[in-house]
Chains A and B, each alone.
Chain A
Amino acid sequence: MTDPSEKVLSRRTFLKIAGAAGVGVTAGCSPQAATQKVIPFLIPPEDIVPGTPLYYRSVCRECSASCGLTARTREGRVVKLEGNPEDPIGGGALCARGQAALQGLYAPDRFKGPMRLGSDGKLTPISWDEAEDQLGKALAAANQKGPGAIRMISRPEPGSAGSLQTAFLRAVGARSEDRIVFDPLDPAPLRAAGGVLFGRPEVPVYDLTKARSIVCFGAEIVETWVSPVEYARQLAAGRGRVGEERTRLTWVGPRLSLTGYSADSWMRARAGGELAVALGLLRWLADPAHETTNLAREVRLLFPQLARLDPAELSRRADVPWTQIELLAKELASRRPSALLGPGLSSQGEDATQLAAVVMLINLALGNLGQSVWYGLDPRKDPSSSLAEVESLLADMSAGRVEVLFVHHADPVGALPAVAGAADALGKVPLVVSFGGRPDATTSHARLVLPDHHPLEAWGDASPRLGVVNLCQPAMTPLADTRAASQVLLEVGAKLPSLAAHFPWPDFYEYTQARSETYAMLALGKFPDLVSVQRDALQRGGYYSFKLPAPTDVPELLAGAADAFLRLPSSSLRGSELDLVIFPTVLRGDGRSAELPWLREVPDTVSTVSWSPWAELSPTTAKRLGVVTGDVVAVSTSAGKTEVPAYVYPGLRNDAVALPVGFPATAVLPAARDALSGAFAFRSARAAVSPTGRRVNLPLLEGSPYQHGREILGTVSAAAPVVHRPDLSARMYKEPEHPLHRWGMVIDLDKCTGCSACIVACFAENNVPVMGPEAAVKGRYMGWIRMERYLGEEPGDALDVNMLPMLCQQCTNAPCEPVCPVYATYHTAEGLNAQVYNRCVGTRYCSNNCPYKVRTFNWRDAQFAAPLNMQLNPDVTVRSRGVMEKCTFCVQRIRFGENQARNEHRLVRDGEVTPACAQTCPAKAIVFGDLKDSDSSVARLSREGRGFRALEDLNTQPAITYLARVREKEEQ
């Protein structure tokens, strides 16, 4: 019998012969055909060495948390944003919106220069001199009309820009109330509650690392509430361990939000019932019969009033069994200190201040003030205006009392409910001046567009709390003919003869430097002069003298202040309608209208929907209405009606319908408000939902939200702290050798909050293309990492939510490697599964074989419309159509680290190389390093009892170890 191998045509030879037919056609091309010209700089730019990144520290302005950031620039272009490790708020991390801010810099629809609305209704470009002249004349004319003719609506500017705006407005004769600070996410009820209870109208600073138990009354602490990056880090610090010392989180609300996914128990209170729960807890704790130890005296004295509340009535109002409330109260009584937070956007109703006050009273009772809740650290710079003040502005605008309105990065048309009539009101103002950089719903009403620099191109500062001043500095020269809004104000002010004396500074930079002298003086001891202090601060990212004060300055309850809050307000009758719950998401933020591609492409973790709004209905409600996911439903309230695709979500009460913040929720929200704080009541409406009979292809990433017995992930508990691992001792394949390093990763699922910051960071770092809604419908999501979200085992089971960030597992026995016909993927000597793009021919067999389905195929050429192509990372190949791609553990960063190490004749140290996902994770859930170094964090963590591998029994031997989520069985 002949040797079969002699007869068999080797794969290589077959392809050579088959390919030869095609080669003849292309033989004419020579690789060296065209001569390239190399044109050097005559005078090279300072500091820039081509190929070496240059880092600038700045501050993120995507929300009011004002986390510090580090901008990585290459050849004068910003290519990636990271956190600032020295900033006490961000702690080196940046959330999804912070990462996406980079696309705002390179957005193709950015205004290229000043524009004026012509008579044809179109914006036409004009010069800055013309624009400022026109503005100056309009201001001078408006001045004649008396106070109130010149107004401004601005985002919060707790720094130089804000103080300049205030000074400018004062100089043009405006009153202090003529400047409205617009922040839809502003926690005004907290401020109001503090003001009434303690005489301290401020937003407290929370230190959740001190809390053994946390209760969120709808406060979305890891998504958008006050300072989400910080809270995620603090919460995660108390996680990642089994037993009593692990921080417990309870979520109270009608809808299980992303923050609720990190919770250990969900108290399914009715929308608006959170107040009843809070009152119930306070009543139980203050009851002398329960002998709660170390209860604050002031709260004990409140018990006679609390005793008038009937537990049965409270339980009925919240639709939560009293035993559950009692259980939570017992937990809070024994686990000290704790932290109770609320309300959040989704629970901010017409009783928001009362809810905030009762929650704060519980904090006071349990001694949390001065431990996990701190007053006295709010710089009170630029507090937001209430909805009442915004509505008053809109009313004045509609009545024709406003001649000139400045709009500074505020989007009232996009973020306010349609019934507020912001669009119509804007139409009545003769001159609307917008400093916005990109077109949004509000700028479309502007007569004069004076585009501001993007924060990455501008100077400035933001002070989110006492002792923290984050400095904003340009990381690159402005891309277009934009000018800093504050600069425009200075220049216009200088041109108006009567006001020239008010502004002695030639430009805004000088102004910020002059203001920063007050902070700089504090650090003068260590430096020879002020300039050195300022330079050092710019390099570090800001002035950081923040320390939590000693726990002695605890506010005292003012006499009689709590009385009004201890009564249960009367409830309105409920019909057949559903409670309308509006929720923010990490990707949508406050609902402003001009969103960024990355934030639309990345699916929402809870619903896995991208590119489209959705309306959540519980399975029971959906069945009753005869609706399935994808059916378009009409949602109507007293304020309006809209049609949205439905998503059936078991994490919602049967008596509620949920819409994400922004459009189209703005079409159906009534302009209700919380009387005490004037804050907008997001939760106030009841909605009628009916099917329309139409269906849409909703872009959903999930295959099925249930595990269906696949044993993808499980949890551990104190009783069973070790994950059962299959026995893989039998070896089928030869073990590969890893002579130097073996890169591995550990992802702690107990810390992961599912916030998607890692996903957006990966898009930014690795030039991952955005494919759009049509591709998303087909499931052609290009992201190298996705958030798997499982709601339980089978549909209909009790909710048991688990999340799994899924990326290429860099398997040792990778199923994708042996099936590639052209050897485009193989196992490297450092433990990575390499994908060589220029060798890939696009058979897609590798993705077919991958059990984790983490390989994505470029079905089309990616489009990076200029100037988005300036954001591309030059260290990473931009893939073209027909090529497979996947996570590479940021091999460009590994190479960079190894290069540095080689230059210094040493090996790479632990912590020196960090992939983009690990670097930005607010919870520090992802750890990367060398598995061969037994002292490295990743090696130590991968040996933990909670560790398991995804689909381990397939024997792929992944390089990623997951640490299981800790879930104690709930006592019912």
Chain B
Amino acid sequence: MARCQGCHRFVKEDKEKPAVTAEIKALLPILAEGSVIEWKRVHRVPDLVYFTHERHVLGGVGCQECHGDVDQMEVLRQVSPLTMGWCLQCHKAKQAQRPAELAKLSDCLTCHK
């Protein structure tokens, strides 16, 4: 919160979406009050999985591929099963493009070290 509000201390009125503006404005006093924001976690992989966003984002995987059309969602919901089989499907497909370099993608140790 402190990081974002370092710059974004003022909320611009969006006349077409008053509900959204109200939501964002409600966040502002939280830093001053010191109250807690409890986000409900939507996407979660089990503790036995080592998942890094870094490699996916830098690897050119778009957010929508796993998280769906977030910009169309009023409230975020999970659209992908996030099961191991589902992850491996994409991993195997990418690996097929450069098998030698991306051999790690179907290696158990990559995600389960």
Q: Cβ of B39 < 8 Å from any Cβ of A?
A: yes
What does the 1/0 interface line of A910-937 toward B look like (CB < 8 Å)? 0000000000000000000000000000
A899 — which chain B residues lie within 8 A by C-beta? 52, 54-55
Given A38, A40, A836, A902, which contacts B109 in the complex, CB threshold below 8 Å?
Answer: A836
Q: Give the shortest distance, in Å, between B2 (CB) and chain A (any CB).
A: 4
Q: Cβ of A708 < 8 Å from any Cβ of B?
A: no
B109 touches A839 (CB 8 A): no
Given A38, A40, A829, A877, which contacts B103 in the complex, CB threshold below 8 Å?
Answer: A829
B109 touches A834 (CB 8 A): yes
What does the 1/0 interface line of A888-926 toward B look like (CB < 8 Å)? 100110010001001100000000000000000000000
Bound together, the chains give a CA A836 to CA B84 distance in angstroms of 14
A891 touches B39 (CB 8 A): no
Greatest chain A CB density within 10 A among B30, B83, B110 is at B110
B-contacting residues, A730-762, CB 8 Å: 739-740
A40 touches B104 (CB 8 A): no
Given A38, A43, A739, which contacts B41 in the complex, CB threshold below 8 Å?
Answer: A38
Q: Give the shortest distance, in Å, between A663 (CB) and chain B (any CB).
A: 41
Bound together, the chains give a CA A36 to CA B41 distance in angstroms of 5
B-contacting residues, A701-741, CB 8 Å: 739-740
Asked whether A42 and B30 contact (CB < 8 A) given A36-B41, A838-B48, the answer is yes
Bound together, the chains give a CA A32 to CA B83 distance in angstroms of 11
A740 touches B113 (CB 8 A): no
Given B38, B46, B48, B110, which contacts A37 in the complex, CB threshold below 8 Å?
Answer: B38
B103 touches A739 (CB 8 A): yes
Q: Select from chain B the residue with minimum beta-carbon distance to A895.
A: B113
Q: Give the shortest distance, in Å, between A40 (CB) and chain B (any CB).
A: 7
Main secondary structure of the interface of A (DSSP, over half): loop
Q: Cβ of A322 < 8 Å from any Cβ of B?
A: no
Asked whether A839 and B108 contact (CB < 8 A) given A40-B39, A888-B113, the answer is yes
Q: Select from chain B the residue with minimum beta-carbon distance to A892.
A: B113
Q: Cβ of B12 < 8 Å from any Cβ of A?
A: no
Q: Cβ of B58 < 8 Å from any Cβ of A?
A: yes
Q: Cβ of A35 < 8 Å from any Cβ of B?
A: yes
B31 touches A42 (CB 8 A): yes
Given A31, A37, A740, A875, which contacts B40 in the complex, CB threshold below 8 Å?
Answer: A37
Greatest chain A CB density within 10 A among B52, B112, B113 is at B113
Bound together, the chains give a CA A826 to CA B52 distance in angstroms of 23
Bound together, the chains give a CA A258 to CA B7 distance in angstroms of 62
Q: Select from chain B the residue with minimum beta-carbon distance to A37.
A: B38
A301 — which chain B residues lie within 8 A by C-beta? none
Q: Cβ of A599 < 8 Å from any Cβ of B?
A: no
Count of A-B contacts judged by CB separation below 8 Å: 85
Q: Cβ of A876 < 8 Å from any Cβ of B?
A: yes
Q: Cβ of B44 < 8 Å from any Cβ of A?
A: yes
Given A31, A40, A830, A876, which contacts B46 in the complex, CB threshold below 8 Å?
Answer: A31
A35 — which chain B residues lie within 8 A by C-beta? 40-41
Q: Give the shortest distance, in Å, between A365 (CB) and chain B (any CB).
A: 58
Q: Cβ of B1 < 8 Å from any Cβ of A?
A: yes
Greatest chain B CB density within 10 A among A35, A836, A875 is at A836
Q: Cβ of B36 < 8 Å from any Cβ of A?
A: yes
A-contacting residues, B47-105, CB 8 Å: 48, 52, 54-55, 58, 78, 83, 99-101, 103-104
Interface residue count for B (Cβ, 8 Å)?
32
Asked whether A891 and B40 contact (CB < 8 A) given A42-B30, A43-B2, the answer is no
Interface residue count for A (Cβ, 8 Å)?
34
Q: Give the shortest distance, in Å, between A826 (CB) and chain B (any CB).
A: 7
Q: Cβ of A832 < 8 Å from any Cβ of B?
A: yes
Q: Cβ of B13 < 8 Å from any Cβ of A?
A: no
Q: Give the shortest distance, in Å, between A876 (CB) and chain B (any CB).
A: 7
A828 — which chain B residues lie within 8 A by C-beta? 107-109
Q: Cβ of B18 < 8 Å from any Cβ of A?
A: no
A39 touches B108 (CB 8 A): no
Q: Give the shortest distance, in Å, between A29 (CB) and chain B (any CB).
A: 12
Bound together, the chains give a CA A730 to CA B52 distance in angstroms of 43
B54 — which chain A residues lie within 8 A by C-beta? 899, 903
A877 touches B48 (CB 8 A): yes
Bound together, the chains give a CA A87 to CA B100 distance in angstroms of 41
Given B34, B37, B101, which contacts A39 in the complex, CB threshold below 8 Å?
Answer: B37
What does the 1/0 interface line of A14-50 toward B look like (CB < 8 Å)? 0000000000000000011001111111111000000
Given B44, B104, B113, which contacts A876 in the complex, CB threshold below 8 Å?
Answer: B113
Q: Give the shortest distance, in Å, between B84 (CB) and chain A (any CB).
A: 10
Q: Select from chain A the residue with minimum beta-carbon distance to B45.
A: A31
B41 — which chain A residues lie within 8 A by C-beta? 35-38
Q: Give the shortest distance, in Å, between B3 (CB) and chain A (any CB).
A: 6
Asked whether A834 and B103 contact (CB < 8 A) given A39-B39, A877-B48, A902-B55, the answer is no
Bound together, the chains give a CA A115 to CA B110 distance in angstroms of 49
Q: Select from chain B the residue with minimum beta-carbon distance to A824.
A: B108
A892 — which chain B residues lie within 8 A by C-beta? 113
A41 — which chain B residues lie within 8 A by C-beta? 1-2
Q: Cβ of A303 < 8 Å from any Cβ of B?
A: no
A505 — which chain B residues lie within 8 A by C-beta? none
B107 touches A38 (CB 8 A): no
Asked whether A739 and B1 contact (CB < 8 A) given A836-B112, A837-B112, A839-B108, the answer is no
A902 — which chain B residues lie within 8 A by C-beta? 55, 58
Greatest chain A CB density within 10 A among B46, B100, B110, B112 is at B112
B110 — which chain A residues lie within 8 A by C-beta? 895
Given B1, B52, B83, which contacts A40 in the complex, CB threshold below 8 Å?
Answer: B1
Q: Give the shortest distance, in Å, between B80 (CB) and chain A (any CB).
A: 12
Bound together, the chains give a CA A895 to CA B113 distance in angstroms of 9
Given A739, A830, A836, which contacts B108 in the complex, CB threshold below 8 Å?
Answer: A836
Q: Select from chain B the residue with minimum beta-carbon distance to A739.
A: B100
B-contacting residues, A555-572, CB 8 Å: none
Q: Give the shortest distance, in Å, between B113 (CB) and chain A (any CB).
A: 5
Bound together, the chains give a CA A32 to CA B38 distance in angstroms of 18
B39 — which chain A residues lie within 8 A by C-beta? 37-40
B108 — which chain A residues lie within 8 A by C-beta? 826, 828, 834, 836, 839
B2 — which chain A residues lie within 8 A by C-beta? 41-44
Q: Select from chain B the residue with minimum beta-carbon distance to A826.
A: B108
B101 — which chain A residues lie within 8 A by C-beta? 739-740
B109 touches A39 (CB 8 A): no
A-contacting residues, B1-15, CB 8 Å: 1-3
Asked whether A44 and B3 contact (CB < 8 A) given A828-B107, A829-B103, the answer is yes
A830 — which chain B residues lie within 8 A by C-beta? 104, 107
Bound together, the chains give a CA A35 to CA B100 distance in angstroms of 40
Q: Give the shortest distance, in Å, between A35 (CB) and chain B (any CB).
A: 6
B-contacting residues, A651-685, CB 8 Å: none
What does the 1/0 interface line of A851-880 toward B look like (CB < 8 Å)? 000000000000000000000000111000
B55 — which chain A residues lie within 8 A by C-beta? 899, 902
Q: Give the shortest distance, in Å, between A74 (CB) and chain B (any CB).
A: 14
B30 — which chain A residues lie within 8 A by C-beta? 42
A903 touches B38 (CB 8 A): no
Q: Select from chain B the residue with minimum beta-carbon distance to A838.
A: B48
A903 — which chain B residues lie within 8 A by C-beta? 54, 58
* A–B Cβ pairs within 8 angstroms, 27 of them: A31-B46, A31-B83, A32-B44, A35-B40, A37-B38, A37-B40, A38-B41, A39-B37, A39-B39, A40-B1, A40-B37, A43-B1, A43-B2, A44-B2, A739-B103, A740-B103, A828-B109, A832-B109, A834-B108, A834-B109, A837-B112, A838-B112, A888-B109, A891-B113, A895-B110, A899-B52, A902-B58
Closest 6 CB pairs of A and B: A739-B100, A829-B103, A36-B41, A43-B2, A38-B39, A42-B1
Residues of B within 8 A of A (CB): 1-3, 30-31, 34, 36-41, 44, 46, 48, 52, 54-55, 58, 78, 83, 99-101, 103-104, 107-110, 112-113
Residues of A within 8 A of B (CB): 31-32, 35-44, 739-740, 826, 828-830, 832, 834, 836-839, 875-877, 888, 891-892, 895, 899, 902-903
Q: Knowing that A38-B41, A888-B109, A895-B110 touch, tell me 8 more A-B residue pairs with CB under 8 angstroms.
A: A36-B40, A38-B40, A39-B39, A740-B101, A839-B112, A888-B113, A891-B113, A903-B58
